[in-house]
Structure 1
């Protein structure tokens, strides 16, 4: 069913006041917006998890999702910030279907090869961006997993998720746009002089440019830790597999002798640094204790070698280019896009503001910014009411925010930080939140 944009005219008075509103058309939600004197109609559901964008935050020409921070251009519907992956339906007619930016395919005779090591968010977005930018060479994505790129954020939040339901793209997509995907294959070494990668099956693949985004793996508990844990457990079944062994726990005996029935056992292994280590065994790259330190534009110190995702330490623009490691989905996606553009010599810096979330006992806490080193907290609402916004202060400025049941405040803060505008401590202490909306440019 098609919907003409002229629908906007009928409700222009309401939109003038609100700048955006949702209307139902043919059992579908349509977001009507007004920006720069121009009216637009776009899909109202975020392409990440379907959040209603009408409950989000509009600033300038883009709307930010209230749940997880994805941004869309209100005039074109194009995706401008992750973790969304598709664009929104829009323009003169509106169909409720998936929409992606126009993508090209390989061009016969073009031999330039981009090799993507890792099958996560950074590699996927890098491949898509290359095709969106009309790269006509060969793209090869290699992963040691047996699944196509999937939404890993669901694994820690949905206990009974089926693997097929969280695939980000299906094989038909990769075939359509000439993106080769090699599953169950692991890189063992990179020869940066010869520009070749050797894999665990003995094969060798040459490249012109390579992205290393092999992620991290969780550290295995030390034998002494397991031994200590097992001494305190009863009624336990053991299962062996290729990658190790698993425990099925039915009850745990405390030191006091008390027996507690259990279905899930969480073992805190007490690593003083981090509970995961990078999947990185090749060089010669600049190596920090745990991550690859990047120069500008997601480049390493080795020509034509780029890095992204969990193992990357990179300069964060909103933190005055402080070198940081942020192992989160949205940042990995953003890095994949930046890598692709710079591979094509379209010099682009990473300016994304971190935005992530966690789910505890059915409640979602949203977080934006980079709060390391904060010295004060300004709280709106109350923790005990399970409705609050926490603003993290450092040097009299807001550097991060976390919220529960306070939408779209965290998205509003993210947009303010993305524009480079400072939120002062004095502003943060005001009663109410009008300063966020007004000074982010959303009023009127």
Structure 2
């Protein structure tokens, strides 16, 4: 994966290192029994944990230590230095931990510590719910189920998904997996055995017809009723479909699910040229993946420059040049009016040859169930700071949730994978009565060839963009401001500064 690389050999920590080699606040990578170990010193305490992030293996030596945690430089996962626990998505698995001893002015790393047996964590809000139902098998739904069991919740968990595949690592579907660089076994978030072992009833290919709020039941399409004590709506978003003539042909695709990605991959071998409709993040990641596989790619989009609405004009120009340097041809200020068996007709009257077409023209939140159940909606499902909807006991998380942003004071809805995961975990805690406010700073990453773009914060509009570094040199930081306040920070190959910006936003010091 993209990011900085560090030598993880270092000293044999079983033999010890001088205490002076690890100053207060310092980090050092060595090894113990062949495994890379990260040492972190916080005052008199020294922690020894796995040196690689459990998400994609990011080098934690390049991460940020804040309080008693370490944050991954690549995708902003966060781990507890004392226990190794994965505190924040996108990481789910903990880091290994080792014992540490100080003697004779040296630091020695001892045996790997056994993972402590988790104890049930009691709620302060009365009895635990007997059954929790999760509607949605995406990032938020999975994160909620995983967190419930991690918290030693003993009741029933039913996850209802209309997808045919268990929860998958969806960002990979338009990135390395589509490009042919990620193996199939990277894609499931957990193996099928995980659900059986954790007693999570996973109902795949199952459609929900409605929610009976008064009876506290989910009604399935076949008429079956599933009772719940607490309910999480995590239905996500669905791609906008083309409505132009020819859009229903088998070589025209959207990309949201594993099945979508597999269908595209199945046609790549016979495809000489592809047209991507839309210059969204998904559309451009698809373009990059197809170019990696040697397919000729044309991108058609109505805007003057790609991604300007989200990243501003300078970054938009950079992204266009980056893709053009890799052989992508842009047709901006254009839209498709019809699709034939081997071509796309544009509004200007010109035609593009196309054996394969992928539409990335946006998504819409799937709020139909919430609306029919009488939940309050406003371009999403409105929730409070605890992610609870207008109906007590029913929560919403992920792409459908519109929540009060503590930094801007506005209600916002964000379609980011990491946000959905973190909201799912927070909703799980609140369904157990913990009363934890969701205050995480939104974060996402996008990958274009070997260039990662990290984005922290949320800026729907701005009056200034401060630039540090050189965008063309792929070494930059941009601050998106309104009224002098930093709303969002975008970086390329400035991982530490991206983490520092996230931390400053959390602490209100940005």
Contact 2:24 2:42 in 1 (8 A): no
Go from structure 1 to structure 2 and tell me whether the alpha carbon gap of 1:64 and 1:226 turns closer, same or farther (over 3 Å shift).
farther
Does residue 314 of the first structure (1) align with residue 403 of the second (2)? yes
> Which residue is equivalent to 1:199?
220
Per the TM alignment, residue 332 of structure 1 is displaced from its structure 2 partner at its CA by 1.1
Does residue 64 of the first structure (1) align with residue 71 of the second (2)? yes
Unmatched segments (≥5 aa) in structure 1: 231-235, 424-444
For 1:325 and 1:101, the matched residues in 2 are separated by: 37
Does residue 133 of the first structure (1) align with residue 151 of the second (2)? yes
> Which residue is equivalent to 1:148?
166
Contact 1:219 1:277 in 2 (8 A): no
> Which residue is equivalent to 2:135?
117
Does residue 303 of the first structure (1) align with residue 392 of the second (2)? yes
**1:148-179 deviation per Cα after TM superposition (whole angstroms, max 9, x unaligned):** 11111111212135554311111222222211
Off by >6 Å, runs of 4+ in structure 1: 243-249, 253-259
TM-score, normalised with respect to structure 2: 0.71
1:324 to 401, 406, 412: 412
Contact 2:210 2:219 in 1 (8 A): yes
For 1:100 and 1:145, the matched residues in 2 are separated by: 35
Per the TM alignment, residue 133 of structure 1 is displaced from its structure 2 partner at its CA by 2.5
RMSD between aligned residues: 3.3
For 2:211 and 2:349, the matched residues in 1 are separated by: 54
> Which residue is equivalent to 2:50?
43
Go from structure 1 to structure 2 and tell me whether the alpha carbon gap of 1:279 and 1:27 turns closer, same or farther (over 3 Å shift).
farther
Contact 2:465 2:480 in 1 (8 A): yes
Unmatched segments (≥5 aa) in structure 2: 1-11, 100-109, 122-127, 254-258, 274-341
Does residue 351 of the first structure (1) align with residue 351 of the second (2)? no
Go from structure 1 to structure 2 and tell me whether the alpha carbon gap of 1:384 and 1:285 turns closer, same or farther (over 3 Å shift).
same
Go from structure 1 to structure 2 and tell me whether the alpha carbon gap of 1:50 and 1:130 turns closer, same or farther (over 3 Å shift).
same
Contact 2:63 2:71 in 1 (8 A): yes
> Which residue is equivalent to 2:236?
215
Per the TM alignment, residue 187 of structure 1 is displaced from its structure 2 partner at its CA by 0.8
Go from structure 1 to structure 2 and tell me whether the alpha carbon gap of 1:49 and 1:96 turns closer, same or farther (over 3 Å shift).
farther
User: Aligned with 1:317: secondary structure?
Assistant: coil
Does residue 366 of the first structure (1) align with residue 458 of the second (2)? no
Per the TM alignment, residue 18 of structure 1 is displaced from its structure 2 partner at its CA by 5.8
Per the TM alignment, residue 237 of structure 1 is displaced from its structure 2 partner at its CA by 7.3
Go from structure 1 to structure 2 and tell me whether the alpha carbon gap of 1:319 and 1:239 turns closer, same or farther (over 3 Å shift).
closer
2:245 to 206, 223, 226: 226
Per the TM alignment, residue 140 of structure 1 is displaced from its structure 2 partner at its CA by 0.7
Per the TM alignment, residue 326 of structure 1 is displaced from its structure 2 partner at its CA by 0.7
Go from structure 1 to structure 2 and tell me whether the alpha carbon gap of 1:258 and 1:145 turns closer, same or farther (over 3 Å shift).
closer
Does residue 178 of the first structure (1) align with residue 199 of the second (2)? yes
For 2:363 and 2:116, the matched residues in 1 are separated by: 36
User: Aligned with 1:314: secondary structure?
Assistant: strand
Number of residue pairs the alignment of both structures matches:
398
Aligned counterparts, 1:154-169, within 5 A: 154-158=172-176, 159=178, 160=180, 161=182, 163-169=184-190
Does residue 334 of the first structure (1) align with residue 422 of the second (2)? yes
Per the TM alignment, residue 258 of structure 1 is displaced from its structure 2 partner at its CA by 7.6
TM-score, normalised with respect to structure 1: 0.81
Per the TM alignment, residue 33 of structure 1 is displaced from its structure 2 partner at its CA by 0.1
